[in-house]
Amino acid sequence: MLDNGLKVYLLEGGNEEIVKIELVFFAGSFYQSAPLVAFSAANLLRTGTANRTSAEINNILDYYGTYFHADAQKDIASFSVFVLQKHLEPVLGLFQEIIREPVFNEDEMGVFLKNQKQQYLINNQRVQYIARTYFNELLFGQHHPYGYRVEADSFDAVSRTDLLQFHRDFYHPLNAFCIVSGKLPANIRDMLRISLGGDHWPAKEKNQPPSYLASSASEKKVMVQRPHVLQSAIRIGRRLFNRTHPDYHRLMITNSLLGGYFGSRLMQNIRQDKGYTYGIGSNLVSLLRDGYFFIGSEVGVDVCQKAIDEVYRELKKLRCIPATESELAAMKAYLSGDYLRSFDGPFAQSQRYKELLAFRLDVSHFEGFLKELKDISAHQIMQTAEKYLHEDSMIELVVGRK
Amino acid sequence: MVPFKKHILDNGLRLIIHRDETTPMSVLNLLYDVGARDEDPDRTGFAHLFEHLMFEGSVHVPDFDVHLQLAGGENNAFTSNDITNYYMTLPAVNLETALWLESDRMLGLAFSEEKLRIQKNVVTEEYRQSYLNQPYGDTMLLLRPLVYQVHPYQWATIGKNIEQIQTAGLEEVRSFFYRHYRPDNAILSISGPHNEDKVLEMAKKWFGDIPRGVGSLRLLPQEPLQTEQRRLVVERQVPASQIYVVFHTCGRNEQAFYTTDLLNDLLAHGESSRLKERLVKQKRLLSDVNAYLSGSIDTGMFVVTGKLHEETSPEEAEQAVWQELLELASHPVSDHELQKVKNKVEASHEFSESNLLARTMNLAYYELLGDADLLNRQTDAYFSVQGSDIRDMAESMFKKERSTVLYYLKEGSGSG
């Protein structure tokens, strides 16, 4: 921990002379008081500080061959920097400057928001984009930050004052954590102390999170017409819980059997047996204050209803008919291998660790999954499906035509 | 530096073994020297359709996936205009399972009418999802036949149209397999913690007895030098117009490729690149701009593309792009800028080397180009490019009569 309260985690490993720094703030869209503020703040940090213009910053980052990525999600905003070890020091110096003292130049804002608006208009033509965003609204309600959908006008209404305020409130060391991974130089601790430590970056009080009430749509089956498309996007799912819940591992394994990998029920039936789609899967999404389950796919419009019927058939089968021993064995073996893969190397490990830190879990979370995977029975999977994945409890959204 | 050992089995199979003791995983990558360019012009999309069929069962293994899953493995494949590449990653202790599965499907496929019918539908859905149901999805389907008048690169890997895929028959599938999917037409690359001798032994055990093919000569018509500009204007239901300016380049294996790649990077790689800084940030003509190379083995494509703001006309955008291209042709880049793009290449190379799968795939690919060790000489090849090389290349490439221009316009924007 640095003297200003910033928690830093070091993960040494790898053969190549590269370093990854990931700085994570609890500064996602959940915390904003106006649309697009969190997203804009995160993406505009690099467009200018008190001492440097956007062009100067871009030139320095590019000169050192740096990969810099800002990612603002619903709960967190994370900043990843990948750089060759030999260039780490100058890049760290610039990085802390970008994080601490962005100016949110009006001109830069204008260019950014205009370009984003155009990208939004393009995305809004894709059935899968509409399905993804509208489905979240159906799950959480249009006024809840997890369900709120941006509109074209939102891009014209972002104010610089809001961005500066948001930055002041949420971009400080007690509201963040940092993971540094790769082949670390001997003086990494000093480097981090100098760049991200207290002299430059004083601690502030921890923020009190706002609270919202989520409300799922009462309408269970929703259709958004798009008359000229060749494929419809389907989403079927419901609100559930996140990875801190005691039943999470069990549900995750149940989800895998249903649609978590190529050998799963949904893929084998709807793609490999029926040919209705190029891809279908089911997912559990963990948010900091909630969680949900969904099945998603794009299917030919001529087979849309048939595909949907098959999905419900699979959901019913999941809770009524136990998996065979061989099916269960294949899935467990696959998931074990997949788990191993997800920890291969320092950068993969840093991703896993980030998940723990965001949710305030510890490594026993991973051990818990492996134990559950080993012990879970076909009967327990059925029970889990019965309890949480009953087909009647789902909301269904189709964007396109049937 | 990626160390490796190379062998050639009696049946012609090229084998590359890379030992990495720091990982518990193994990767098996099998590259077949067949791609969309090898297709019959009336039977396009076939190499890709065939790739799908490789997962539908082989002579001794009716269900490919379940065995790999039991071994904790994951696999996938892709087809390009040049190659078809299959890869598996799994816990190193189970490497032999991967060898068994991969060798069995080289030995022979379990051809079936029913599986063919289903995968034709899956590929049709892929066609729709990626190319027809997306804004700008059909761009390559429009550009390729313009850029390539003679060479088979004129059709995309997915095929010229859905109908050709739908009419594929089982006999054609069979003869495609026995013509192209032979050990002497393949490169097997294996990585992981195992001792190299052990890996060689296992590879011989599983692949050694597969009979070699009769050998097929690849005689493709090469694309001639372009002497006249080609232009196309189309209108689509998209929210913003887009322009494309395309040039021919040398093939991947030529020395000039590295100069071409750096030229491409100078234009649009990174936020400080010329097109991004000048056309997006300063002049605000475009909301987004990109440049990339196809990197194909035969004559390649150098593509520059930009999305127009509402108030920008395609002519204005095109003019601005040409201005940047011609500046590179007339003024040599500064040492700082040249060093910048070289540093980026060095960094990308290191990142990609840190990934076991990428390393294994690249070894096979460079072996196809002639020598797997090319992987370890890439950074030097880029570093040896001079500023004058870039200026010379820009001057010879960026000529109107050597270009293909596509205006992909928002319906009703009334331009063209």
Closest chain A residue by Cα to residue B281: A111
Query: How close, in Å, is residue A130 to chain B by CA atoms?
Result: 13
Binding-face residues of A in 268-307 toward B, CB within 8 A: 271-279, 298-300
Cα separation, A146 vs A143, whole angstroms: 8
Cα separation, B74 vs A268, whole angstroms: 15
Query: How close, in Å, is residue B358 to chain A by CA atoms?
Result: 14
Contacts of B308 in chain A (CB under 8 A): none
* Residue A152 contacts B where some CB pair is shorter than 8 Å: no
* Residue B237 contacts A where some CB pair is shorter than 8 Å: yes
A213 against B330, higher pLDDT: B330
Q: Would you state the structure tokens that stand for residue B313, as one six-digit string?
A: 């006309």
Q: Please give the C-alpha separations between residue B191 and each of B90, B101, B134, B141, B354, in angstroms, as whole numbers.
A: 11, 17, 38, 37, 13
Pick from A61, A122, A336: CB nearest B135? A122
Matching residue, tokens 């269904």? A396
Quote the pLDDT of residue B333: 94
* Residue B328 contacts A where some CB pair is shorter than 8 Å: no
Contacts of B121 in chain A (CB under 8 A): 274-276
Q: Would you state the structure tokens that stand for residue B236, as one six-digit string?
A: 């689509």
Counting every residue written for chain A, the total comes to 402
**HSE (side-chain half, CA atoms, 13 Å) at A204:** 14
Evaluate whether A112 touches A44 at the Cβ level (below 8 Å).
yes
Cα separation, A104 vs A47, whole angstroms: 7
pTM: 0.91
Quote the pLDDT of residue A217: 87
Quote the pLDDT of residue B63: 87
Cα separation, B118 vs A272, whole angstroms: 7
Closest chain B residue by Cα to residue A328: B70
pLDDT tier, B132 (very low <50, low <70, confident <90, very high otherwise): confident
Binding-face residues of A in 228-257 toward B, CB within 8 A: 228-231
E strand intervals along B84-223: 84-91, 186-192
B76 contacts: CB under 8 Å, gap ≥ 6:
B86, B87
For residue A181, what are the β-bridge partners? A11, A20
Quote the pLDDT of residue B66: 86
Q: Are residues A126 and B135, on separate chains, in Cβ contact within 8 Å?
A: yes
Q: Are residues A67 and B336, on separate chains, in Cβ contact within 8 Å?
A: no
Q: Tell me the ipTM for this assembly.
A: 0.87
Cα separation, B284 vs B268, whole angstroms: 15
Cα separation, A180 vs A22, whole angstroms: 6
Pick from A276, A298, A340: CB nearest B72? A340
Closest chain A residue by Cα to residue B271: A58
pLDDT tier, A204 (very low <50, low <70, confident <90, very high otherwise): confident
Cα separation, A51 vs A59, whole angstroms: 14
Contacts of A307 in chain B (CB under 8 A): none
Helix or strand (DSSP H, E) at A225: strand A221-225
Quote the pLDDT of residue B416: 45
- Reference B293, options B336, B250, B264; nearest CA is B264
Instruction: Provide mean pLDDT across the span B381-402.
Output: 97
pLDDT of residue B10 exceeding 70: yes
Q: What is the mean pLDDT of chain A?
A: 94
Q: Are residues A18 and B277, on separate chains, in Cβ contact within 8 Å?
A: no
Q: Are residues A118 and B339, on separate chains, in Cβ contact within 8 Å?
A: no
Cα separation, A64 vs B249, whole angstroms: 28
Quote the pLDDT of residue B414: 59
Instruction: Provide mean pLDDT across the span A244-268.
Output: 96
pLDDT of residue A277 exceeding 80: yes
pLDDT of residue B170 exceeding 50: yes
Instruction: Provide mean pLDDT across the span B127-134.
Output: 87
Closest chain B residue by Cα to residue A14: B354
Q: Would you state the structure tokens that stand for residue A199, as one six-digit string?
A: 């002299």
The helix/strand/coil state of A388 is: helix
Q: Would you state the structure tokens that stand for residue B25, as one six-digit string?
A: 């995983």
- Reference A55, options B274, B113, B333; nearest CA is B274
**HSE (side-chain half, CA atoms, 13 Å) at B68:** 28
E strand intervals along B182-314: 186-192, 230-236, 242-249, 286-293, 300-308
pLDDT tier, A198 (very low <50, low <70, confident <90, very high otherwise): confident
Q: Whole-angstrom distance between the N-terminal and C-terminal Cα of chain B?
A: 51
Quote the pLDDT of residue A205: 78
Amino acid at B43: R
